[in-house]
Chain A
Amino acid sequence: MLIHKPSDIRSSEITSRVLYLRRREFLAGGAATATGLALTLAGCKSQASPTPAAPGLALPGVKKGPFGTAEPQTPFSDITTYNNFYELGTDKSDPSKNAGSLRTRPWAVAFEGEIKKPQVIDIDTLIKLYPLEERIYRLRCVEAWSMVIPWVGFPLGDLVKRLEPTSRARYLAFTTLLAPEQLPGQKTGVLDWPYVEGLRIDEAVHPLTILAVGLYGKALPNQDGAPVRLVVPWKYGFKSIKSIVKVRFVDSEPPTSWNRSAPREYGFYSNVNPAVDHPRWSQSKERRIGEFRRRDTLPFNGYASEVASLYAGMDLAKNF
């Protein structure tokens, strides 16, 4: 008869999933320091309190939202390994490899400027402010590829209402975290850091526009813009700014990163428009990730009936 020795790993010693998911951060923290031990212990301490929505953890109570497309969804593995997030590297595969260095807790987003109720909202409060909805949207990158992504988030318009914009609030200016030691791409000069984006206020409160905190029912992976990002599905992907720390309400059009980098190529509006080519490539077609043949790009990425009226009377070739 075999006599089993009891396992010498007590259940209390088994690494929690949260801690396990942050193991790279833990290792990076340990390796980065000369007085390794002290900082590693400090790292342990901060990990002791589990984070409610660490990347990859399921978000509770997500209900189905409107505007969903029935098109096949891009696999989770593609959405999380094919990213443009230059703060984590300029290769499509870089952000997923470098994602471990971004710390998404503690995190807070400052809302300021032309609003009656300026405030700083902690991310875990922000996530619980409104019922979370699944929004299955097309995403069209300015590089002529596209995906279908089941985001989890809430309408930005609901939050804007709560902040009570003044009559001078005509635009929203968004800012990504500036932290070169967490976002090593910020040590390079490929763009001016921090990344900034902007929307007209009517675009920001449009029911299609959401703040996303997850995808596929789980908290956003870092490479997809954790812990909170903008999603504006009728505009090229770069408008949907990631890892937001500040939203300022302003009275004039704010600067935007890609426009500052190449004003001839990237306009403030950047609405998906097959009739207006990028100066260096055609925008009339796109490759849906996972498909072989290119497909036609639709005006406003297929959301024309919802948003075209926002631009009535505007020359979209001039306001590209």
Chain B
Amino acid sequence: MARPARERLLKLAIGVAVTVPAARIAWRFYAGALGPNPIAEALNRLGFWTLVLLLAGLSCTPIKILTGWAFPLRLRRMLGLEAFAYACLHFLTYFAVDQFFDFGEIWKDIAKRKFITIGFAAFVMLIPLAVTSTNAMVRRLGFPRWKRLHRLVYLAATCGVIHFAWRVKSDLRQPMLFGFVLAVLLAIRVVDHLRAPSRRRPA
């Protein structure tokens, strides 16, 4: 049976809504409305939205566990890919705008600055997940292997939050909030797994 049109429409609306922050950042950057240090501001905002979307993608399964509502599971791949798109924009802004292709500086940053090392690691981890996000790739890998691979997102999100925490000077409130939400989302999975180890769970 075809999915209700209402759900498809809702999914489309969410998918489009998620692109609004990026469009807003791009427009404000172009219009000179990102404040006195627009490059730093664009970087911060793109990083912020990357984390928001990663956590949004990671909340689909817990919502299903807690409420039984399955619809969010249909958003998961889309949210994950959109998180990856924001991560790409974040990295490209750093690479092409902030550092202006200064490979020497970029390499030193990645090797020496642990907040950049871990942020870059998180970004790299997302690449195989995006590449294997198609139905064809799920079939090719086989579901169990695909599922194991995609557990990498837990590590990527954790690294992303640490990246944020290590970057701020002293105000840890936002990174702590992201860390708290991530911890809750992961804990729900763990508790669910421990309570019903034999039951098949949606990945």
Contact = CB atoms under 8 A, between A and B. Distances in A.
Query: Would you call the interface of chain A mostly helix, strand, loop, or mixed?
Result: loop
Contacts of B40: 145, 287
**Which of B166, B169, B171 is the most central at the interface, judged by chain A CB atoms within 10 Å of its CB?**
B169
B114 A280 contact: yes
B115 A289 contact: no
B100 A285 contact: no
A145 B169 CA distance: 14
Contacts of B109: 281-282
A33 to B, nearest CB: 29
Interface string B72-110: 000000000000000000000000000110100100110
Contact of A280 (B39, B99, B115): B115
Interface residues of A, number: 27
Nearest to A93: B35
Nearest to B168: A90
A82 B167 contact: no
Contacts of A188: 171, 173
A2 interface: no
Nearest to B99: A294
B37 interface: yes
B113 A280 contact: yes
A78 interface: yes
Given A82-B35, A82-B36, A289-B37, A280 B167 contact: yes
Interface residues of B, number: 21
A282 B108 contact: yes
Contacts of A289: 36-37
A103 to B, nearest CB: 25
Contact of A145 (B37, B100, B105): B37
Interface in A223-272: 261-262
B170 interface: yes
A93 B35 CA distance: 8
Interface in A60-110: 74, 77-78, 81-82, 86, 90, 92-93
B178 to A, nearest CB: 16
Contacts of B36: 74, 77-78, 81-82, 92, 289-290
The 5 closest A-B pairs by CB, nearest first: A78-B36, A82-B36, A90-B171, A190-B171, A289-B36
Interface of B: 35-37, 39-40, 99-100, 102, 105, 108-109, 112-115, 166-167, 169-171, 173
22 contacts: A78-B36, A81-B36, A82-B37, A86-B170, A86-B171, A93-B35, A145-B37, A145-B40, A190-B170, A190-B171, A280-B113, A280-B114, A280-B167, A281-B109, A282-B105, A282-B109, A287-B37, A289-B37, A292-B39, A292-B100, A294-B99, A294-B100
